[in-house]
Structure 1
Amino acid sequence: MKIKSTILGLAALLSAGMVQAQDGWNFPSDPAQEKKARELNAAYTDYLSSEQFVEATHPLNWLLVNVPELNESIYQNGVKVYDGASKATTDEAQKRIYQDSVIAIYEKRGEIYDNEKNWIENKAYYGYQYFKDDKDKLAGPIADFEKAIELNGTLNPTLTAAYFNLVYRNYAYHQAYTGEEILAIHDKLQAILDKAAAEGTDVSSPKSSLEQLLVAMELIDCDFIENTMGPKLAADPTNEALADQIFKYSVQYKCYSSKSFLQALEIKHAKEPSFSTSQVIAMRYVQDNKLTEAENLWKQALTLAENDAQKAEGHMELATVYAKQGKKAAARNEAKTAANIDASKTTEVYSMIAGMYMNSFNDCKGGVSKIKDRAIYIAAYNAYQKAGDNAGMANARSQFPSKEEVFTEGMQVGQSLSTGCWIGETVTLATRD
């Protein structure tokens, strides 16, 4: 009974007979009640000024119960009084009574003054401090943080970590959320921090706290992304928010090989095409042997390239796709274009061309002249030479015709010779010996 009587009796009926408000003060019309209210108002403010918080609770409690509409200041100061009293007492039961009274004061203030958006963040943070270790009381401050975001459209960046800490605890104690719900809360808070950072606020500390809490939940891994988030995106490919989540967490946790990552990236690319998104999607298509799709993506990537390095890379990758498709002439053209744009790719380009020449013997041989058939190896040698590849040059030279073969066919070393076939080059006849 002592506890019940000590907690603010804020559910009491509003006292009747108030006089006309003057400067926001509503003293009782009854002279005796007015006198008592004035005396107790002065008494608690004196105690508050001298930081005698426990003593201040007694006159303040009478005011809150008997003249609850006296003035909003009794609620503003009431929070200071009861919070101070909770810190002043060593009795744990009494401490909790004072803490509960702080929350009750905020709730009664909301009923009377209807200005919750001005102080709901403060109420939430007091609740966080008081109840974060009480698994049965987590729901209250969590609801207050959510209400703060609802009413104000945002949250003080310094409070984001406190809110997410409560979410973490509620999940650990009660499994109160699905994985997707936690990620949605996390992303909402990250958006608040990103906006604050863009406005010049240092949010490194709360950002770090959020990430540490998310990791501690052991919620996200590649399996979660693929098997839990992925099917939902497959069922609703228009869900851009989910696609953004999957993309973000796939990158963060290096889950690049999943189908869900590819789908999320395709959705992101469709909305905001860029060279980098084209690049990654095209590479995945090549891995999956979707060469036509990869060809189209690299062609698009070239239109989105922002500098010569990206253009050269685009042409080189397109050359690789063409080579896999058997379009060797087209592959060579793209590779040479890459080298013309970026000279640093010369070695890579001519090694690739030489390799295609070396592998074209069976496709290009006519079977009439060994010398003409082996001319492609001379072209390969020349390409390896441009690449600076001595081992490749030696390998190509070993396939040159012999002096005897040259003599037998009535040709001469040093004469010009056409390779024919798709290679279409004119080379100088040489022998391997």
Structure 2
Amino acid sequence: MKIKSKILGLAALLMAGMVQAQEFKFPSDPALEAKARELNAAYTDYMNSEQFVEATKPLHWLLVNVPELNPSIYQNGTKIYDEASKITTDEAQKRVYQDSVMTLFIKRGQLYDDETKWIENKAYYAYGYYKDVEEMLPNVVADFERAIELNGELSLAALYPAYFDAIRRNDGYNDAYTPEQVLEKYGEIQKLLAKAEADGKDVATAKSQMENLLVAMDLIDCDFIENTMGPKLAADPTNEALADQIFNYSVQYKCYSTNAFLQALEIKHAKEPSFSTSQVIAMRYMQEDNTAGAEEMWTQALKLAENDMQKADAQMELAKIYVKQGKKSAGRAAAKEVANLDPSRTSDIYSLIGGMYMNSF
């Protein structure tokens, strides 16, 4: 996988720097020192010749008998045990090797203050090994969250869908979260992806995978937006993040008729007024027979219009509202303005004005 190659490449660079920076701590006992030197050379030779299963034996002796020899035995050991797990056909032995990778990270954390350098790798390996293991999924999620806590982000955008998939699986296997908690975590990841995108990283694939995973969880529908998210926004109308969430989910799931969508749209419009938000709010007000509110929104839309076509739309809707309110002179004036802005709508204007006269009789 591309993710793995990048991580291992990063690990190799870190390993080279660490080995050069830290001296080997061989035992003071001459016989033990000779044994440690012999097995350190042996496991390294096996690793360089890609004999990974053979390398585990001398490496294991070093880890047990001289655990503080050098950080390299943990850095190299991660690769050795991982590669050995791919070679063996014995499923039980495969799990032993995979568990050994995790143990190396834990032991390294106990000996060296460098968790920020490897915690993301630990999360990556844990996801690969344990994503189908019910009791291990909480730990997988915790590793990803620890990486974000320590480093502020995940260095590879492709790891975010893996993190969210671990959340999805943990919820499926262990009923670990409420729907609101899942959406909160999803929102936090979206913010991190937005930051990565602002930093110049390609996050398009990661975003698409995230959306697919959320849809697969089948958490959201119009009832959920209206009855679960809506009351929270009603209780805290200053919560712009929640309003954005409701607006985005309403658009994604085509839930335009909910009160929650209308309130979220009103909040969005108050913050960033536009012709389109004014237009949609006005249309919703008309559905509710709120002509005063619709008039106010179409008046705003007229001021926010970016071209004559939009201005004509606003004037036409205002003309209809004025007619409905019995404001005939205002209706005629708005209708005539439509003709000036968009002559192609002349027939509609005549129909509107003609209807006004018919109704007056």
Measured after TM superposition, the shift of residue 59 of structure 1 is 1.5
Name the CA distance, whole Å, in 1 between partners of 2:32 and 2:339. 94
1:42 partnered with 2:41: yes
Show CA shifts across 1:181-232 (max 9, x none): 1112222333333444455544343333222221221111001111111111
How big is the shift at 1:308?
2.0
With over 3 angstroms needed to count, the CA separation of the structure-2 counterparts of 1:266 and 1:83, relative to structure 1, is: same
After TM superposition, give the deviation of residue 69 of structure 1 in Å. 2.3
Counterpart of 1:140 in structure 2 is 139
Provide the residue aligned with 1:252 in structure 2: 252
The more displaced of 202-211 and 260-269 is 202-211
What amino acid does structure 2 have at the position aligned with 1:257?
Answer: S
Provide the aligned C-alpha RMSD in A. Answer: 1.9
> Structure 1 residues 251, 145: closer, same or farther in 2, change over 3 A?
same
Q: Equivalent residue of 2:135, what SS?
A: coil
C-alpha distance in structure 2 between counterparts of 1:275 and 1:253, whole Å: 22
Q: 1:337 to 1:22 in 2, by over 3 A?
A: closer
SS of residue in 2 equivalent to 1:157? coil
Q: Which residue is equivalent to 1:272? A: 272
1:184 is paired with a residue whose SS is helix
Tell whether 2:185 aligns with 1:185. Answer: yes
Aligned to 2:347: 347
Q: Which residue of structure 1 lines up, in the alignment, with residue 17 of structure 2?
A: none
Equivalent residue runs for 1:317-356 within 5 Å: 317-356=317-356
Q: Give TM-score, length-normalised by structure 2.
A: 0.89
Cα deviation for residue 134 of structure 1 reads 0.9
| Distance verdict in 2 for CA 1:81–1:180, change over 3 Å | same
Q: CA deviation at 1:339?
A: 2.2
Q: State yes or no: 1:122 paired with 2:121.
A: yes
- Using a 3 Å threshold, how does the CA distance of structure 1 residues 113 and 339 change in structure 2: closer, same or farther? farther
1:244-278 deviation per Cα after TM superposition (whole angstroms, max 9, x unaligned): 11110001111111011111111111111111111
Is the 2:22–2:70 contact (alpha carbons within 8 Å) kept by the matching residues of 1? no
Q: Following superposition of structure 1 onto structure 2, how do residues 80-95 of structure 1 map, counting pairs within 5 Å? A: 80-95=79-94
Q: Which has the higher contact order (CA 8 A, sep 6+)?
A: 2
Alignment of 1:236-247 (within 5 A): 236-247=236-247
SS in 2 for 1:24: coil
What is the DSSP-based 3-state SS (H/G/I as helix, E as strand, rest coil) of the residue aligned with 1:256? coil
Unaligned runs of 5+ in 1: 1-20, 362-433
- Identify the residue that residue 283 of structure 1 maps to in structure 2: 283
What SS is found at the alignment partner of 1:339?
Answer: helix
Q: What is the rounded CA distance, in whole Å, between the counterparts of 2:224 and 2:73 in structure 1?
A: 51
SS of residue in 2 equivalent to 1:212: helix
Q: What corresponds to 1:31 in structure 2? A: 30
Partner Cα distance (2:187, 2:359) in 1: 52
Alignment match, 1:390: none
Q: Distance in 1 between matches of 2:237 and 2:21?
A: 61
- In 2: Cα distance, 1:170 partner to 1:214 partner: 14
Deviation of 1:112 after TM superposition, in Å, equals: 2.3
- Give the paired residue count: 341
Partner residue of 2:215?
A: 215
Q: Which moved more, 1:203-212 or 1:352-361?
A: 203-212
Unaligned runs of 5+ in 2: 1-19
Runs (4 or more) in structure 1 with deviation over 6 Å come to none
The structure with the greater share of residues assigned to helix is 2
Q: Pairwise mapping of residues 360-371 of structure 1 onto structure 2 (< 5 A)?
A: 360-361=360-361
**Residue of structure 2 in register with 1:378 after alignment:** none
